[in-house]
Structure 1
Amino acid sequence: MPAAPHRSSIRLAALLLAVVSAGTFAQDAPRARARDLGVAPGIFAPGTHNAITDVAGVRVGQVTLVEGDNVRTGVTAILPHPGNPYRSRVPAAVHVGNGFGKFIGSTQVNELGELETPIVLTCTLCVWKAADAMAAWMLERPDMQQVRSLNVVVGETNDGGLNDIRARPVTAQAVRRALETASGGPVQEGSVGAGTGTVAFGWKGGIGTSSRRLPASLGGWTVGVLVQANFGGVLQVAGAPIGRELDRYAFQNAVAANTDGSRGLADDRGDGSIIIVIATDAPLGDRNLRRVASRAMMGLGRTGSSASNGSGDYVLAFSTADSVRRVFDAPKLDTSELANEQMSAVFQASVEAVEEAIYNAVFMATTISGNGETVEAIPLDRVRDILRRHGIAPAK
């Protein structure tokens, strides 16, 4: 109908305006990625965009939903390659660091060792709506007309502080738009997509990404990471005690009461969740991808998380290499994988990229108000000062 596109255009324009007016405040200093602050974890160099999309063929699409005073959420979609992921499946594995959450489709990924849809991230009470929308989107494809089973993969974190999560505001249209607008190149970070309403270490959290490219002597493979950061702990950056020095960290009420008697914004137990997605072009089967996924917890731990009781810490790793791709109805698999002895550099790259992606999620996030709450962006000027005092960032 002719009126529908016009209404959609008005709605999209209104949402974009709302993001600008409600999501960014004058007191926010210009945001910066970790490397802009002199923080470059590890030894390996990043790829061109320092993003998950540095793995060739991987695309990311995001839709940010900001409506009225209460809706602050969104959708982030990760597509493993340009083709139909159901017909041309990538090996994959899921590691559960702490299972307080929902990761739709994860049991079949681990059972069969493969991914057959894109990966969608959203808010906790919207996972089923997002899964239904992605299933409909996939089943409409001309080459899917006879398909009677589909394992969609949807992860979540709980943005119920800033977002009216009970309204379940994520729509099928938002999921479709994230899937259909996915692209390579730079990835928007911070308070966008599935990170619009998230909180990390008591500060505004969000979407973060990073990558590592191994030297040619170690295979030349690329490892890319994207995180949806919504968890707690005691923030440290390259070992610098940022959370302690900014006086915002888990359990602070028990160990060091605030001087003004207030509780502060940090969750006292460090609860929350994180979804970590790792992509690589290294030719890995699902067994070694499970090993890669488990190493993500080391990168998470470096940032100050202890994977609290109320934290849902999930990692999904997949390989895009042609030599390990699985045709849906092939009678046998003829794959060529890296040997176990070649895995250590991939592990190292994964740990480094996870750590940096989390820093990027926090540093790039902007102050957001919604649902009666305001969560501040971490003050980067103070972070810089702390990093300088600890010899991490360059002197002025």
Structure 2
Amino acid sequence: MQEPRRCRELGIVVGAMPTGPLNAVTDVPGVRVGHTTLVEGDGIRSGVTAIVPDQLTDRRSLPAGLFVGNGHGKMVGATQVAELGEIETPVVLTATLSTFRAADALLTYMLAQPGRETVESLNPVVAETNDGYLSDIRARPVRAEHVLAALSAASGGVPAEGAVGAGTGTAALGFKAGIGTSSRRAATSRGTVTVGVLVQANFSGVLQVAGVPIRPEQVGVPTLARPGRPEHPGNSCVIVVATDGRLDARQLGRVARRAIFAMARVGSDFAGGSGDYALAFSTADTQTPTAPESDLEPVFAAVLEAVEEALLNSLFMARTTVGVAGRVKYAVPHDRMLDLLRAHRVELRA
């Protein structure tokens, strides 16, 4: 069985901008990630992923922007984020039918935080993708303790990727996928801005790596697809973008748009049954002046590169997974994929 490897370990370098030291969303100071992975018996392949900005310890909210590429999803808290341009809680990712239990657990977590003893209203932000191909989604296996464990375990360092946390049962572009992350450093008029991305990948299309289509049959991966009907249609992608750049809610909405646009770079077909959501937030001190519009151009470029690489990492770090009813999702075979890229004269970097 092949070992999971990130893009750059495979010699695949996305774009030209520098990454942060970890090449992860946790390169943004104060941002931590935690997972709870649920693998139980033959039928449960699910979990929780929490993105926790430490800045919410001292602040009641952070500026945020939301862009919905296709709204076939269940994102708790979305309307208030769109209306007020802020998040009040960490961001939790899970499976579709576990969204509502996760939201309640996130409220429990927030109400217990120091300084919130008299809070009477909170807007929990929970997003989802449908892991029902590999997991018994109707069992709703995610419980409050799983959410609280992910929040409590959130840490810096490179987050686990692939079939972990909320990505345990997900698949994308014909292969097993899951959680992926990446970062970029953008040069602006006010200095370097860090952009970090974490994705929960679970959508359809044809995988594109460096512009080369990688279909399962080309790399020896079995498929059960019927003519004219993909095996794993739609089922969503959630992209969380964090930055230490001083952007307001409107600007963060523009950043979130670019995150959705980046899905096209890896081959998304933007199926009508997919819920494609991007949420961008800033950890910067709101007492400082907002960045000029001209500073957004390098940030946009950073988001496009980081999302593309995070999505590829979500695939290349995943392992072949057998789930409910014996269904299988195969990991991208690295060696065969690299052979195909070489045949198309793609430059791979040692």
The aligned runs of 1:136-215 (5 Å cut-off) are 136-215=108-187
Amino acid at match of 1:390: H
What do the CA deviations read for 1:69-97 (whole angstroms, capped 9, x no partner)?
11110000001225427x43210011000
- 2:166 touches 2:179 (CA, 8 Å); kept in 1? yes
Match of 1:367 in 2: 320
Residue in 2 that maps onto 1:379? 333
Which residue of the other structure, out of 83, 97, 103, is the alignment partner of 2:75?
Answer: 103
Which residue does the alignment assign to 2:345? 391
Cα deviation 1:6-37 (Å, max 9, x = unaligned): xxxxxxxxxxxxxxxxxxxxxx3122111112
2:13/2:349 contact within 8 Å kept: no
Please give the TM-score of this superposition, normalised by the length of structure 2.
0.94
For the 8 Å contact 1:366–1:377, the answer to whether it is kept is: yes
Instruction: Output the amino acid matched with 2:52.
Output: L
What residue in structure 2 maps to residue 37 of structure 1? 10
When the two structures are superposed, what TM-score results if normalisation uses the length of structure 1? Answer: 0.84
C-alpha displacement of 1:389: 1.5
What count of residue pairs does the alignment treat as equivalent?
348
User: SS state of the match for residue 208, structure 1?
Assistant: strand
1:171 Cα deviation from its structure 2 partner: 0.9
Give CA-to-partner distance per residue, 1:285-343, whole Å, 9 cap, x none. Answer: 00000000001122110000021111110000000111x2xxxxxxxxx5511011211
How far apart, in 2, do the equivalents of 1:227 and 1:233 lie? 16
Task: Write the letter of the residue equivalent to 2:20.
Answer: G
Where does residue 5 of structure 1 map in the other structure? none
Match for 2:12: what amino acid? V
Q: 1:106 corresponds to which letter in structure 2?
A: A
* 8 A contact 1:223–1:346 mirrored in 2: yes
2: CA distance, partners of 1:358 / 1:61: 18
Between 117-126 and 28-37, the greater mean CA deviation after superposition: 28-37
Which amino acid in the other structure matches residue 339 of structure 1? P
Q: Give the corresponding residue for 1:299.
A: 262
2:212 partner SS: coil
In structure 2, the residue matched to 1:236 is 208
Q: How do residues 1-396 of structure 1 correspond to structure 2 at under 5 angstroms?
A: 28-84=1-57, 87-215=59-187, 219-243=191-215, 245-246=218-219, 254=227, 266-267=231-232, 270-322=233-285, 324=286, 334-372=287-325, 373-394=327-348
- Structure number with greater Rg is 1
Does the residue aligned with 1:308 lie in a helix, a strand or coil?
Answer: coil
Contact 2:55 2:283 (8 Å CA) reproduced: no
Q: Which amino acid aligns with 1:297?
A: I
User: C-alpha displacement at 1:217, in angstroms?
Assistant: 6.2
Alignment RMSD: 2.1
Deviation at 1:394, TM superposition (A): 3.1
Contact 2:188–2:298 under 8 Å retained in 1: no
Percent of matched pairs sharing the same residue: 53
Amino acid at match of 2:250: R
Aligned partner of 1:22 in structure 2 is none
Question: In structure 2, the residue corresponding to 1:221 is in which secondary structure?
Answer: strand
C-alpha spacing 1:46/1:378, structure 2 compared with 1 (3 Å): same
Cα 1:143–1:217, aligned 2, differ >3 Å: closer, same or farther?
Answer: closer
**Matched letter for residue 24 of structure 2:** A
> Offset at 1:271?
1.6
2: CA distance, partners of 1:142 / 1:156: 28
Once residues 187 and 104 of structure 2 are traced to their aligned partners in structure 1, the CA distance between those partners, rounded to angstroms, is 42
Contact preservation (8 Å) 2:161, 2:314: yes
Quickly say closer, same or farther: Cα 1:297–1:147, change in 2 above 3 A: same
Query: In the aligned structure 1, how far is the partner of 2:270 from the partner of 2:3?
Result: 30
